Amino acid sequence: MASNCCCRAVADLSAASPKAICGLLLSVCLVVAGRADEPAPSFFRGLNLNGPPVVIDGNAWEGRDSKHYVCNDRAFENQAVPLVPSTDQERAKMLRSSRWGGNRIELTGLPNGTITVFLHAWEDNNPETYSVSINGREVLRRHNSGQAGHWDKLGPWFVEVANSQIVLTSQGGAANFSGIEIWRGRHEGEEPPIAPDDLVFFENRIRPLLVKHCYECHSAEAKELQGELLLDSKSAARRGGATGAAVVPGDLEHSLLITAVRYKTDAMQMPPDGKLSDAEIADLERWIKIGAPDPRIKATKFAGKQIDVATARQFWSLRPLTNPAVPEVKYATWPRSDIDRFIVAKLEEHGLRPADEADKRTLIRRATHDLTGLPPMPEEVEAFIADESPQAFETVVNRLLASPRYGERWGRHWLDVVRYADTAGDNSDYPIPQMHRYRDWVIAAFNRDLPYDEFVRDQLAGDLRGGKTDDERHERIIATGYIANARRFGSRVDDYPQHLTIEDTLDNVGRCFLGLTLSCARCHDHKFDPITTRDYYGLYGIFHSTRYPWPGIELEKRQRDFVPLVPPSELVHFQKIVESRKQEQARLDGEVNRLREARRKAPEDQKKGLADQLKQAEEVAAELRKTPPPFETAYAVAEATTIEDVPVQLKGDPTRPGDLVPRRFLSVLGGAELSANSHSSGREQLAEWILDAENPLPARVMVNRIWQHHFGRGLVPTPNDFGKQGKPPVHPELLDHLATAFRNGGWSIKAMHRQIMLSRTYQQSASRDPEAVAKDPANEWLAGQSRRRLDAESIRDTMLCLSGNLDLSPAGPHPFPPEHTWDFTQHQAFKAVYDSRHRSVYLMTQRIQRHPYLAIFDGADPSTSTPARATSTTPLQALYLLNNPFVHEQSRLVASRIVAHGSQDDARLQYAAQLLFARPAADVELSTAHNFLAKARSLLLAADTPADQIEAEMWQAYVRSLFRLNEFVYLD
Amino acid sequence: MNPHPQIHRRAILRSLAGGSLLMPGILSELLADGTPAVTQTDPLAPRPPHAPARANRVIFVFSNGGVSHMDTFDHKPELFKADGKKTGSGGGLSNEQRVLLKPGWAFKPGGRCGTLVSDLFPHLRECMDDIAVIRSLNGNDNEHYNATLGMHTGSFFFARPSIGSWVSYGLGTVNSNLPSFIALAPQMPYAGTQIFNNDFLPAYHQGVRVIGGAEPIANLERRSKQRGLQELELGLADVLNNRHLSTRVADTDLSARIRSFETAFHMQADAPEAFDVGRESDDTLSLYGLKRGQSEGFGWQCLVARRLAECGVRFIELVDGSSRVNWDQHGDMAEHAGHAKRIDQPLAGLLRDLKARGMLDDTLVVWTTEFGRTPGVDGAKGRGHHSACFSSWLAGAGVKGGTVHGATDDLGATVAENGVHVHDFHATILHLLGLDHTRLTYRHAGRDYRLTDVHGHVVQDILT
């Protein structure tokens, strides 16, 4: 079947007919502040850009000589072209004289506050397609200028003026700008009254026709709105639906209403149940031709999908968190904990029994890898074997939880989910040298068992939380690297697609903390889960009101808006330093330019002297540029300068705003809104809404992740999707039991590890009964542990650890090139692989270039959240283990360790088995190994290997073989 | 016809035979008892297409930088006339009105069909009877990075699986001793490795990048000093792995991993052989414009593509140029000549060679680029990026040679008829492979993904 959801990049919209995306009254709000009690709009100024002063709609306009604008465009006039639709003489005079080429108009002497802008534009010959921006923000996308003579009054566009001026520009095809009309306040763009005859025609012929044939699917009363098109008000019809404007006055060609009723194109035939009569079609055509007079001025809107919260919350993941009764089981001697009782009860339902207990060696290998991502050392294994107390395993678990290696392992699991990367992901993939602070914060948070609720608050709003000490404040700022870490896109600055970065943020917030796929609601109400587009933009406003740091991009290559890690009292002081440095740099650069110019113009005999001066000045300027600022910074967020709600973006297109949505939480989870007097982005509140006692999701989602990394599979097998497209839990009661314990136990992650690992369920052998394997191939009921392959990091770290080559000192920042040298473009994107002996969590990870090793072994995808690692098996992995120099080097080091362990082969073989498999070698293995060593020795002899190297080389070959074994990369 | 049938026949037979072909002698020396037989599951085993396939494999040629359509495959007489007299879309990103620039090369008819091709491609022009040109291709973005990503994945902003990965996923491969999807990319294209990445598809569908030279695939070169020692190591691993397996209830993950070492072992031998064009005759080398001993350049890429096709590789991508040196002529269109010279004869040679060997009947050859160029000038004598319309071509299996599909307006600025969006282009390629683009789906993150998203129509007019 076809893909059942149409999430798509907004760029796809331009694949639609460009002609379709224009609208006479496409209103774009640049201002979305409160609108209550606004005074009525009043006419402020009209500008006839290439003509004399005129009077239009009773208002006096200034002519081309006005002092209130600056425009260097060329002038053009052709008063002979008949206008469509026709209009009064004064307006026609204004329209048919225009400016073009360059298309930049600076409007000055404006009143500060809210103004409304209308732009009159016309076409003198062939249709052109262009976009219009005000102050660099696009207000109209891909407007089609129509056939010769067609004109439009574009707008209204609401602008908040701060410094008495705005700049209006266009991009794309040649636009003819005729006049600009400015109103104080918000003017909704009414037109002159309708002539009585036209009104009668509309009421008698058009309105009944629309009501009868169109309203069922295209009005506010429609059960389900089709094509996002409303035909029950003037503004809605002109704005149009998903494919463009339904009504373009005077323009049959571009009025999709006419296209549809004519039944000429297969793609658009309306009404769907049969073509209208010829007379009806002729009426509609006439209506458009005379300018589509329409008295239905009250704008309509479709309320959108309403969520029935009570019904929606019947879905398993949204039901209130419960503390289910622990079941009675028949096999009552087996359970050691409540977890075991839930598990055995399910097994008994299916006539199965749990597996035997894993032997101690298997168990400690499993536990050590689970908690630290490293193998147990032989002495740790022996200590555990020797400890016969009932608390022996608990002792091991506590020791492992206290190890700094624990945070490196579990921090990595979190970094998978938050799609951590050390680069930005724009087309040039700019490096972010400060990003490692967030990585280190995550690792430290796991190590100190930061309660999960605090962990969530810090990442979403740490910058707003303050702290008792500077260190605490700084750590919380660094934690918001979670948000800063959202992906960057493209190469450009002025039309940077911030909506994609916000989408990436929301997508991750949804999956990460709530197990919900929010981004489906960007373009349309979620098809499966109770999330509406309004929910999405309610959250969007929060991140729209958040300032993201700028990591650098092709067309603006330097960092900005990073957060200084300085005490608040000194912030102003440091900002002054930055500012004065900026001025000093500008002065020095100016000096360089001045000297360069002087040298160019200078007579020959003075050139040498000036060249020397220039060289000196260049050095001074470069020196300052190289000097880092006197404080550290974090790749973190802050409150934006403008805190505001945003409108819905129709079809996910930021240039097609719908209704304004207050910043708020998902309606199905309570729909809490910010208080009326809130002047913050709302991130702090968002964290509280997420963690609210009534919200069952965060506890369920997080305990499921913890469970997942102890059993290879979550109780919910889709850890990032607790919605209808995900898979429900096999053990819903156990999930709630754990989630309740997690919440009530102060959100302690380490306590959750203990609870899980001390159960008999966890300590089962991975050898399941064949009947259990047959009945439950995926091992959902857990009649035994699951066999798990080590992940990419564990394989590499284990080899490094066994070879004694693992560097456990703090890894710190990556050796990126210094910022002042950055010149990355999409042609020469940043790309690097840094060698390291540190644990793999510290490898430099690029957003858009996979690390060559991690890519081979199913490492996390740094461009999107990775809820669970794949475990593919490919010949490229085998080739890596056969031939990669890293593997050969670690084999060499491990072999020398083994050889140093004793002089007897058997002792060495035993030691090798202890190191790699945490067990002694079996007799049959010893004899195979003896055969191997003998054969290897003769091969090496035959190849004239120097005698003193033969022993080392045959043991290296032996270790290489062991590194390739399933037993080495799988945990039982 | 095939002077080297042994390459692929042996490789494919070996791949299909299954079971342990690894060094039986060594195993018996290490073991007293026999090795237990193991059932293998091969995730790349051939899968039947949705409908009978016309093409069994694809050679996908991608020219980096944006090849001008009006200077190559889309003759615009009006543009010659309007040179310097009128304005049209121009500037770096096609968003300005600039003076029109006439094409720099004359057009002549090629083949019996008479399709007009400019003097940039004299060799390909002679092959036009085998080629269907699409003149109305169009995409969504005027940036290299995004357009390149879109042409490969159907997605212009977000990383998604490459078309080669989709084909591998849909059809598997007949020779699992070689990757199913190989990208011959001596230099990195725009958007880097993403363009041959499997993304959310399983990792065996990842395009394996081949640079050329001594080690065409990462870690391919045997590092153990002697072949015998490596065989011995693998023999030991085989014995121990099978013993490990025999004490556990059947686990296909474990057995698949055992098998993967065998494949890797054979790849070390087979892959370099597949890349070794020294085994070709002088006549064949000259067909591609290659000198004996040459193991780089676009001619080498084309000839290796044919050899890989013979070995049963499902999807072979040739990356022409790089993100740094390519067809992106903003300043002077005359530089197109050097790029065309680099690929013209090798591409024509590839078509002729495939045809002579009977392989063009079931091999689809595609040539494309990320976008065309503007009719209006950019820089002094160059053209800007233009995704609104551009030209590409297909040849071989199931393609109606000698045809032209779609048209642009008089200046080559917009599509005038039969527009073919990148999604349609992808749908058509999949169709020729017997794959229905609406049914080739993969469930990821809660929904079924497609190469063509929710779009795509097969271009029936160019099919036989």
Q: Would you call A645 an interface residue with chain B, using a CB distance cutoff of 8 Å?
A: no
Chain B residues in contact with A876 by the CB 8 A cut-off are: 179, 203, 206, 208, 217-219, 264
* Residues of B whose CB is below 8 A from A11: 140-141, 146, 156-157
How far separated are the first and last CA of chain B, in Å rounded? 25
CA distance, residue B132 to nearest chain A CA (Å)? 24
CB-count exposure of residue B208 (10 Å: 0-12, 13-18, 19+): buried
Q: B244 — contact with chain A (CB < 8 Å)?
A: yes
Question: Do the domain assignments include residue B36?
Answer: no
Which positions in chain B touch A888 (Cβ < 8 Å)? 223
Amino acid making up residue B135:
R
Give, in order, the Cα–Cα distances in Å from A231 to each of A19, A196, A855.
19, 22, 52
3-state secondary structure A302-367: CCCCCCCHHHHCCCHHHCCCCCCCCCCCCCCCCCCCHHHHHHHHHHHHCCCCCCCECCHHHHHHHH
pLDDT above 60 for A494: yes
- What is the spatial distance between Cα B150 and Cα B158, in angstroms, rounded to a whole number? 9
pLDDT category of residue A21 using cuts at 50, 70 and 90 = very low
B241 in any annotated domain: yes
pLDDT digits (tens, 9 = 90+) for B173-184: 888 788 899 999
Residue A33 has pLDDT above 50, yes or no: no
Query: Who wins on pLDDT, A217 or A464?
Result: A464
- Report the pLDDT value the prediction gives residue A406, as an integer from 0 to 100: 98
Residue of A nearest to B256 (CA): A873
Whether B33 contacts chain A with CB within 8 A? no
Q: Which of residues 89-128 of A touch B (CB under 8 A)?
A: 101
Across A859-879, b (16+ Cβ under 10 Å) vs e yields: bbbbbbbbbbbbbbbbbbbbb
Q: In chain B, how long is the greatest CA-to-CA distance? A: 88
Decide if B188 touches A, using CB distance below 8 A: yes
Are B323 and A924 in contact (CB < 8 Å)? no
> What mean pLDDT comes out for the span A622-628?
87
Q: Is the pLDDT of residue A374 over 90?
A: yes
Whether A87 contacts chain B with CB within 8 A: no
Q: Which two three-digit tokens encode residue A292? A: 């589509």
Residues of B in contact with A874 (CB under 8 A): 203-204, 206, 260
Burial class of residue A603 (count of CB atoms within 10 Å of its CB; 0-12, 13-18, 19+): exposed
Over residues A658-677, the pLDDT tens digits come to 778 999 999 999 999 998 77
| Average pLDDT score over chain A | 89
Which range (A215-229, A325-339, A371-385) has the least confidence? A215-229
Q: B258 in contact with A at a CB cutoff of 8 Å?
A: yes
Whole-structure pTM value = 0.78
Q: Which of A37-51, A583-597, B16-30, B129-143 has the lowest mean pLDDT?
A: B16-30
Count up the domains in chain B and report the number.
Answer: 1
Q: Label residue B32 by pLDDT band (50, 70, 90).
A: very low
Could A882 and B230 be called an inter-chain contact, meaning their C-beta atoms sit closer than 8 Å? yes
Sign (positive/negative) of CA torsion A441, A442, A444, A448? positive
Are A957 and B228 in contact (CB < 8 Å)?
Answer: no
The DSSP element (H or E) to which B344 belongs, if any, is helix B336-356
Determine the average pLDDT of the residues in A402-427. Answer: 97
DSSP A215-281: TTTSSTT-SS-STT---SSHHHHHH-BTTB-S--TT-TTT-HHHHHHHT-BTTB-SSTTSPPPHHHH
Provide, as residue numbers in chain A, all residues whose Cβ is less than 8 Å from the Cβ of B455: 12, 15
Chains A and B form CB pairs within 8 A to the count of: 265
Does residue A935 belong to the interface with chain B, where contact is any CB pair within 8 Å? yes
The confidence score (pLDDT) of residue A254 equals 83
Answer whether A940 touches B (CB < 8 Å): yes
For residue B73, which of B139, B150, B137 has the smallest C-alpha distance?
B137
Q: Are A670 and A688 in contact (CB under 8 A)?
A: no
Contact predicate A159/A44, CB 8 Å? no
> Of B89, B8, B135, B43, whose CA–CA distance to B383 is shortest?
B89
Q: Which of residues 273-332 of B touch A (CB under 8 A)?
A: 323-324
Nearest to A873 among B156, B234, B253 (CB): B253
Q: What is the ipTM of this complex?
A: 0.75
Residue A41 per-residue DSSP state: P
Q: Is A870 in the B-facing interface, judged by CB distances under 8 Å? A: yes
Residue B37 lies in a domain: no
Torsion of Cα atoms, A942 then A943 then A947 then A950, to 10°: -100
Asked if the C-beta of A129 comes within 8 angstroms of chain B's C-beta atoms, the answer is: no
Residue B350 domain flag: yes
* Chain A residues in contact with B261 (beta carbon < 8 A): 875, 878, 881-882, 964
Whether A362 has its CB under 8 Å from any CB of chain B: the answer is: no
Is the distance from CB of A939 to CB of B226 less than 8 angstroms?
yes
Q: State the average pLDDT over residues A407-426.
A: 97
**What does the pLDDT read at residue B30?**
63
Which one of A508, A771, A879 would you mutate to disrupt binding with B, by most B Cβ within 10 Å of its Cβ?
A: A879
Q: Is B187 in the A-facing interface, judged by CB distances under 8 Å?
A: no
* pLDDT for residue A233 is more than 50: yes
Residues of chain A in contact with residue B155, where contact means CB-CB under 8 angstroms, are 9
Chain B residues in contact with A171 (beta carbon < 8 A): 95
Contact yes or no for A965 and B248 at CB 8 A = no
Distance between B93 CA and the closest CA of chain A, angstroms:
9
pLDDT of res. A575: 83
User: Is A863 close to B257, i.e. CB distance below 8 A?
Assistant: no
Q: Is residue B254 part of a domain?
A: yes
Burial of A417 (0-12, 13-18, 19+ CB in 10 A): buried
pLDDT in tens, B371-411: 999 999 998 899 999 999 999 999 999 999 999 999 999 99
Contact list in A for residue B234 (CB cut-off 8 A) is 882, 961, 964
The Cβ of residue A886 has, within 10 Å, a number of other Cβ atoms equal to 17
Q: Is the pLDDT of residue B24 over 60?
A: no
B345 lies in some domain: yes
Is A725 in contact with B200 (Cβ distance < 8 A)? no
- In contact, B170 and B460? CB cutoff 8 Å: no
| Most confident option among A152-166, A564-578, A904-918, B268-282 | A904-918
Res A2 pLDDT > 70: no
Give the Cα separation of B211 and B189 in Å (integer).
12
Instruction: Quote the pLDDT of residue B1.
Output: 37
Q: What mean pLDDT is predicted for residues B317-334?
A: 92
Residues of B in contact with A73 (CB under 8 A): none
Give residue-wise pLDDT tens across range A545-564: 999 999 999 999 999 999 99
B257 contacts in A (CB within 8 Å)? 873, 878, 966, 969
Cα distance between residue A688 and residue A67, in whole Å: 53
User: What's the gap in Å between the CA of A426 and the closest CA on chain B?
Assistant: 10
Q: Is residue B25 part of a domain?
A: yes
Structure token digits, residue A444? 């430290």
Q: Provide the CB-side half-sphere exposure for B365 (13 A, CA).
A: 27
Asked if pLDDT for residue A12 goes beyond 50, the answer is: no
- Say what the pLDDT of residue A17 is: 33
pLDDT in tens, A164-183: 899 998 877 788 999 999 99
Higher pLDDT, A193 or A578: A578
Residue A915: per-residue pLDDT: 96
Q: What are phi and psi of A238, to 5 degrees?
A: -75, -35
Distance CA A553, CA A156 (A): 33
> What residues make up the domain containing B420?
5-31+42-462
What is residue A462's predicted lDDT score, i.e. its pLDDT? 98
3-state DSSP call for residue B378? strand
Distances (CA, A) of A115 to A45, A155, A164, A648, A717: 11, 12, 11, 22, 54
In angstroms, what separates the C-alpha of A279 from chain B's closest C-alpha?
32
Helix axes A923-942, A905-917, angle to 10 degrees: 110
Residue B23: its pLDDT value, please? Answer: 52
Residue A191: predicted pLDDT: 61
Chain A contact present for B198, CB below 8 A: no
Q: Give contacts of A 421-440 with B, CB under 8 A.
A: 427
State the amino acid at position B394 in one-letter form.
L
Please tell me the predicted confidence (pLDDT) of residue A578: 83
Predicted local distance difference test score (pLDDT) of residue B262 = 85
Is residue B343, in this structure, part of any structural domain at all?
yes
Q: List the single range of A457-466, A752-761, A882-891, B244-253 with lowest mean pLDDT.
A: B244-253
